[in-house]
Structure 1
Amino acid sequence: MTPPSVDLGSSNGAGSSMQGRVIAEMRTRIIGGQMEPGASLSEIALAEEFGVSRTPVREALKQLQTEGLVEIRPRVGTFVTIPTRREITELFEMKELLEGAAARLLAQRGRVPEIDRLEENLRQADAAVDRDDRDRYAELVQEFHDLIIVGADNGKLEAHYRMLMNQLAYPRLVTTSLSQPGRALQSDREHHTVLELIVAKDGDSAERVMREHVRASRRAVFAGLQSR
């Protein structure tokens, strides 16, 4: 049974909370691939599914358009964004800059808790690669990069990175890159090298190798996209 529709005004605290829930759930679905690029999004259908009026859905779609996840075409409809090759390239270039800077900053901090978590991440990643568990390794890849960003301890950098990851729909691209033969093993080795340099407090080399790693990931993504 479809939940009753709830009229949510912008001044209503519960309404604001519901709108936030709609945004968060739709963002998760788009980034995770449950809503495919190019998919048409119906305000009416979404309102029925979430048990709300169309107003919070409409506002959620506007927010997701600001984040680059959906495209609203007046008098046509709303669609999950299909990033162009140029857009993916530009986003990866920004990812390279941000993650390179994060690796440098983390190396400068010394033995912080994120280092221990990164070492555990790599232990689990090694095991996932050994048993050819790409789904688990994909999760650990995302965690590795996230720990580098958090470990940099720079709020502005992290905020820009979060927005970028949403626009990239990063989990989908990780899966695409890992579809390439041998990429999981190579990626794992690259992660080990990055962490070794961070632990050694070699910020210059950590930044350089992290940027090389991101470029290698981008090449694997495009190779995977072309093979489809």
Structure 2
Amino acid sequence: MRGDLEPGTAIKDVELAEKLGLSRTPVREALATLADEGLVETKPHAYTRVTALEAEPVLDALVVVQSMHSLATGLVVKSRSITAEDIAAMRAANKAFKKALDANDAVAALAADDEFHAVAVHRCNNFAIAATIDRYTPLVRRLEHSRFSSPNARHSVPQHDQIIEACEQGDHALASTLVDKNWSTLQEEL
């Protein structure tokens, strides 16, 4: 997901199992999961390789992830279940996000961005929203990593600040719209 393996790179389960100190069974299961997520492609008895970052399936996954995050935020703010501690957690995550971007640390930026958006998802306490996000985020992850490796991600910091403000003010429609807008900027990477 970080781009360490270029699209088309062959993955040999035996070599990977050896490298990780695991048996082939958990490696095969993990590769099957990655294939389900669209990150690797396999042809039995022929190859397993990293998939190319193709716009259409990534965009399909992105609009679902985007919608679920927007929905979670709207529901949490509308129900007034977001707490002062949640707002503080969002501010702390956005501060860490900015620091990581300033340091050109895409991995830390991605982790901080995940923390920021996870506040509403966790507070929402809707298993279907969380499961849907978990299911489709891996396909979007390479796109996010690409975004956070470039100066283009800087605009997310003030967008996050606007989201926090809307949450504090209890404006569920605005908070939801701002989250949707924040996620939609990933489409520019395609």
Equivalent pairs counted in the alignment come to: 186
Deviations 1:160-215 (A, max 9, x none): 101211222x1x3233224554x333110111111111121111111111111111
Deviations 1:23-53 (A, max 9, x none): xxxxxxxx33333332211122122223344
Whole-Å separation in 2 of the counterparts to 1:179 and 1:118: 21
Asked whether the 8 Å contact 1:100–1:210 carries over to 2, the reply is: yes
Amino acid at match of 1:163: R
Asked whether the 8 Å contact 1:112–1:151 carries over to 2, the reply is: no
Bigger mean CA deviation after superposition, 113-122 or 191-200: 113-122
1:99 aligns with 2:69: yes
Task: Report the 3-state secondary structure (helix = DSSP H, G, I; strand = E; otherwise coil) of the residue aligned with 2:159.
Answer: helix
Residue 84 of structure 1 is aligned with which of 25, 48, 54?
A: 54
1:207 aligns with 2:179: no
Deviations 1:59-102 (A, max 9, x none): 33223322332211134211122231111211111122111101
Residue 70 of structure 1 is aligned with which of 35, 40, 46?
A: 40
Question: Counterpart in 2 of 1:114?
Answer: 86
Where does the alignment leave 5 or more consecutive residues of structure 2 unmatched?
none
Deviations 1:128-169 (A, max 9, x none): 55xx2231434322321222322322122111101211222x
Asked whether the 8 Å contact 1:149–1:158 carries over to 2, the reply is: yes
Asked whether the 8 Å contact 1:187–1:213 carries over to 2, the reply is: yes
Whole-Å separation in 2 of the counterparts to 1:55 and 1:126: 40
Which structure has the higher relative contact order (CA within 8 Å, separation 6+)? 2
Larger radius of gyration: 1
Q: Percent identity?
A: 26
User: What are the equivalent positions in structure 2 for 1:49-198 lying under 5 Å apart?
Assistant: 49-107=19-77, 108=79, 109-111=81-83, 113-128=85-100, 132-135=102-105, 136-168=108-140, 170=141, 172-181=142-151, 183-198=152-167
TM-score (norm 1): 0.71
Going from structure 1 to structure 2, the CA distance change for 1:126 and 1:80 (only over 3 Å counts) comes to closer
Asked whether the 8 Å contact 2:97–2:110 carries over to 1, the reply is: no
Question: Counterpart in 2 of 1:33?
Answer: 3
Whole-Å separation in 2 of the counterparts to 1:60 and 1:127: 33
